[in-house]
Amino acid sequence: MDCRIETAETRRNKCAACYRQFNKVEHLVDHMKISYHSVHEPTCGICRKHCRSFESLREHLIGPLPKPECKEIFANRGCKFCLKVLDSPNSRRVHQQKCQLSGLSGICGRFSNLGIRDNLTIGGGRGPQVVALACKMVGGGSDGSLDLCARVCLIDEHENIIFHSYVIPPIPITNYRYETTGIRHEYLRDAMPLKLVQRKIQDFLCNGEPIWTIRSKGGKARILVGHGLDHDLASLQIEYPTPKIRDTAKYPPLMKTSKLSNSLKYLTQAYLGYDIQTGIQDPYDDCVAAMRLYMRMRTQIHKTEDYPLASDSQNRNNFASWRQSELERMSPEQMLEISRSDYYCWCLDP
C-alpha cells in the first residue's frame, strides 16, 4: 500500500492539469512547455484531471485501471456517452436518455437512394454555413483495390440532404463492392460525371469566395465536416483549405490514446450511442454521424480566452527559455493559467 504523504514541496512540483509529479520544478516547467495543457482538454468532472483525449478520460473513469474514487462516483452519476458527471443518479438517467441518439438510416437514409438530389446553391450569407460530406467507394484497377467514388452525399447541420448523387468514376469499375456499397451497374447509368460533381461541390463549399482567399475565420466559405476527409476529397479531386475542415478522424479529443484515428463506426457507438455501417452502408448515415460528433464537440462550454492557441503571436513567449527563472517561481496553477492549446477547439467556431 502506498502511504506517501503529499507535502508542500511535492505539490509544488505537481502539474495542475494532468497531476503528474516531478522531482524538480524545472522538470515541471519543461513538461508545461511541451504538454499544451489548456481549458479545451477533456477534463474529469470529479477530480478535474485534464486528459489529452476523451479516450484517455474514458480510461481514467472506467478503463482497465481507473482511478477508484472517480470510478465509484462515475458509476452512479456519470454519462457513458459524453462522460459528464451529473448531480444525482436521477439526473444522470434523464441526461443519458437525451445523450444517446438513434440512427436515421431507415426513412431519411432511403430517401437518398432515390437518385440525384441537387440543392446546391451559392447564396452569399444565405444557406448552411456548416455541411458534412461522405462518399462510398467502389473498386477500380485490375484487382479492384483502387478506391473510386461512386456515390456522394452532402447534408446541412440540421441533417437535411443538400446534395446526393451517384458518380461516374474517371476509370472503369472492376468491383462494385455491393455487400457494403449496395451499388449496382444500373444505378450509374444516369449518374453525374466526376468532373461535374467536383465542380458543383467545390463551388458550393467556396460559396463565391476564391479558394486562395479563404481564411480560418470570416468570409463566405463553408465549414466542411466529415470523417477521413483527405480520402473523400482526393477521390472527388477537390482541394479545400485546411482551416475550413473539421475532420473527426483527426480531431485530437476524438483520437485514441496512441494518437491514431478512431473509426467513425466506433465513435458513433461510443459517443452517440447507436450503430452505423452494418451491412449495406449509406453515405447519409456517415454524414449524420460526423455532423452529430462535430456538433457535440462544438457545443462544449469552455472558458473564453482572447488568444486560445499556443500558436497565437501573443502566446509565443509564454514559456520562452529566457523566462525560465520566472516560470520556476510560478505555482503550477499559474503555469496552467498561461498554457494554451496546440489544436483548434471546435467550440471556437461561430
What average pLDDT is seen over the chain? 91
123 pLDDT above the threshold of 80: no
CA angle at 66 for the pair 250 and 251, rounded to the nearest 5°: 10
pLDDT tens per residue across span 146-196: 999 999 999 999 999 999 999 999 999 999 999 999 999 999 998 999 999
Q: What CA–CA distance (Å, rounded) separates 179 from 168?
A: 19
105 pLDDT above the threshold of 80: no
Say which DSSP state 332 is in: H
Q: What is the DSSP string of 58-88?
A: HHHHHSSS--HHHHHHHHHHB-TTT--B-SS
Element at 192 (helix H, strand E): strand 192-193
10 pLDDT above the threshold of 80: no
pLDDT (0 to 100) of residue 126: 60
pLDDT tens per residue across span 213-231: 998 888 899 999 999 999 9
Q: What CA–CA distance (Å, rounded) separates 45 from 50?
A: 10
127 pLDDT above the threshold of 80: no
CA atoms within 13 A on the CB side of 46: 21
| Secondary structure (3-state) at 173 | strand
pLDDT (0 to 100) of residue 110: 45
115 pLDDT band (50/70/90 cuts)?
A: low
pLDDT (0 to 100) of residue 350: 86
For the whole model, what pTM was predicted? 0.92
Residues 199-204 have a mean pLDDT of 95
Q: Where is pLDDT greater, at 99 or 350?
A: 99
pLDDT (0 to 100) of residue 122: 59
Q: What CA–CA distance (Å, rounded) separates 335 from 315?
A: 13
- Quickly count: other Cβ atoms within 10 Å of residue 23's Cβ: 9
Residues 267-278 have a mean pLDDT of 95
Amino acid present at 349:
D
Question: How far apart are the two ends of the chain, measured CA to CA in Å?
Answer: 50
H helices present in the chain, as ranges: 8-12, 25-35, 54-62, 68-77, 89-99, 107-111, 178-181, 194-206, 229-235, 264-267, 283-298, 324-329, 332-338
Q: What CA–CA distance (Å, rounded) separates 246 from 228?
A: 10
Residue given cell 431507415 in the structure block: 106
Nearby residues of 208 by Cβ (< 8 Å), 6 or more positions away: 122, 124, 220
Strand partners, 309: 341
238 pLDDT above the threshold of 80: yes
pLDDT (0 to 100) of residue 218: 82
Q: CB-based burial of residue 107 (10 Å sphere; 0-12 exposed, 13-18 middle, 19+ buried)?
A: exposed
